[in-house]
């Protein structure tokens, strides 16, 4: 299977996102495959938490499974009012995606995880891990 081309993906936020649990974020990817490695760019197209910046995609293909890291050019998050705040002084967190290909439906389905390091009281590091599910199909 060659993943080179355009893909549409949708993530669904997991329980850690409380009031946004079950909501979606859609994005498009342009991928290039070299052997068992994939690379590309992603652009958010709609939903909750849309970033105005592109993200890079780097990963690998293992039989009918894929794994990749998606990382935005700048950090962004939702404030308490649901508005996207962008911090261009630092890159976004790494988001790990993994999925398996369903031959019958011609779609990838899997899980994603993001680990965020925050400082509590400005000096105590805390790791916050969030996840959800996602799908990807050829455009």
**Would you state the structure tokens that stand for residue 16, as one six-digit string?**
């850690």
In this prediction the pTM is 0.87
Q: Which residues contact residue 45 at a Cβ distance below 8 angstroms, ignoring those fewer than 6 apart? A: 26, 27, 28
When mean pLDDT is compared across 53-62, 64-73, 97-106, 119-128, the lowest value belongs to 119-128
| Per-domain residue ranges of the chain | 5-138
pLDDT for 78 beyond 70: no
When mean pLDDT is compared across 37-41, 43-47, 75-79, the lowest value belongs to 75-79
User: Model confidence at 118, in pLDDT bands (50, 70, 90)?
Assistant: low
Contact 48, 25 (CB under 8 A): yes
pLDDT for 33 beyond 70: yes
H or E stretch covering 68: strand 65-72
| Fold that domain 5-138 belongs to in CATH | Lipocalin (2.40.128)
């Amino acid at each position: 299977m060659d993943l080179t081309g355009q893909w549409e993906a949708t993530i669904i936020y997991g329980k850690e996102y409380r009031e946004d649990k079950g909501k979606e974020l859609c994005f498009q990817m342009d991928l290039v495959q070299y052997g068992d490695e994939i690379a590309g760019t992603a652009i958010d197209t709609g939903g909750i938490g849309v970033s105005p910046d592109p993200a890079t995609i780097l990963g690998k293909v293992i039989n009918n499974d894929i794994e990749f890291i998606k990382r935005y050019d700048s950090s962004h998050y939702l404030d308490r009012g649901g508005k996207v705040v962008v911090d261009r002084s630092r890159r976004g967190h790494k988001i790990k995606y993994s999925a398996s290909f369903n031959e019958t439906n011609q779609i990838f389905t899997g899980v994603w995880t993001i680990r965020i390091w925050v400082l509590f009281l400005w000096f105590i590091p805390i790791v916050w891990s969030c996840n959800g599910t996602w799908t990807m199909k050829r455009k």
